[in-house]
Structures are given as structure tokens and as C-alpha cells.
């Protein structure tokens, strides 16, 4: 958590208080673009692709409830990123870190990685905000 706090503090310095709503909107927009087709617009797992999959799509609004009331931020970040975990063992979740990396190539190797991590973090914060 300390690493996430440091990351948020560093990048939070670039976001003025007038842009906080824009940061929330960015997480929601990234979620809609990357996640809603499977997990649904409301995060409850009822996206249009969900019925075509061979595995049950989890409700993302219950992550805190399933983790003793604590949002599992690092686990969520790793699940979205997918680049550090082992995906070759039957997990159908797309590796969004690689997709975001391709989309951020124009920012260079270091800037691109910052963009990828920021995008993933914004989705994770959005998911934290929709917990039931």
C-alpha cells in the first residue's frame, strides 16, 4: 500500500483540485472501454460478452465484501495489468497492461509505462468507488 500511496502522491501532484472530477471520469471511461463488455456497465458481471464466455464473469462490485471489507487494490491492479502474473494457465481475462502499452508507445519507454500504470490505477480506483 505504501508504494501505491507514493505513486498516487507523485501523480496526484499533477492533478489540481479542479480536475479531480476529470480523474474520476478517466477511471470510469477506461473501465467502460476495457471492462464493461464482460463485467457490465454497472460492474455486476452482466456485460454483453459475458454470456458467450465459458467461465463466470465475477461481479466487480463485491471485491471488498469478498475480502473482509477491504478493497484488494494490489490484487486488482495485478489482475488488470496481467503482465506480472501467469496468464498461460487457463485464465481468460485479457492482459490489459500489454494492450495499454501498445496504445502508449508514442510516450516513449518511460512515459509510456507511466501512462499504462496511471490508466490501470484509474480503473482500480474507479472499481474501489463502486463497491457495495
As a whole number of angstroms, the distance between CA 97 and CA 127 comes to: 17
Residue 5: inside a domain? no
pLDDT on residue 23: 60
As a whole number of angstroms, the distance between CA 62 and CA 55 comes to: 18
pLDDT on residue 88: 46
Number of domains in the chain: 1
Residue 47: inside a domain? yes
Residue 10: inside a domain? no
Taking 60 as the threshold, does the pLDDT of residue 11 lie above it? no
DSSP 8-state assignment for residue 67: G
Q: C-alpha grid cell for residue 14?
A: 499533477
pLDDT on residue 84: 64
**33-85 pLDDT per residue, tens:** 999 999 999 999 989 998 898 888 899 999 999 999 999 999 999 999 887 65
Return the closest-CA partner of residue 125 out of 45, 25, 38, 56. 25
**What's the predicted TM-score (pTM) here?**
0.77
The enclosing domain of 29 has a CATH number of 1.10.760
Give the structural domain span for 36. 19-129
As a whole number of angstroms, the distance between CA 64 and CA 118 comes to: 22
**81-115 pLDDT per residue, tens:** 887 655 544 456 777 888 888 888 899 888 999 99
Amino acid at each position: 500500500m505504501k508504494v501505491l500511496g507514493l505513486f498516487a502522491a507523485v501523480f496526484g501532484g499533477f492533478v489540481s483540485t479542479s480536475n479531480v472530477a476529470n480523474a474520476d471520469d478517466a477511471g470510469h471511461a477506461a473501465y467502460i472501454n476495457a471492462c464493461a463488455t464482460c463485467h457490465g456497465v454497472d460492474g455486476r458481471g452482466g456485460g454483453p460478452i459475458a454470456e458467450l464466455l465459458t467461465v463466470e464473469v465475477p461481479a466487480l462490485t463485491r471485491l471488498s465484501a469478498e475480502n473482509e471489507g477491504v478493497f484488494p487494490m494490489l490484487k486488482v491492479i495485478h489482475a488488470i495489468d496481467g503482465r506480472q502474473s501467469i496468464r498461460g494457465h487457463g485464465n481468460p481475462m485479457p492482459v490489459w497492461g500489454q494492450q495499454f502499452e501498445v496504445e502508449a508507445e508514442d510516450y516513449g519507454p518511460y512515459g509510456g509505462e507511466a501512462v499504462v500504470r496511471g490508466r490501470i490505477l484509474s480503473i482500480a480506483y474507479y472499481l474501489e468507488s463502486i463497491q457495495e
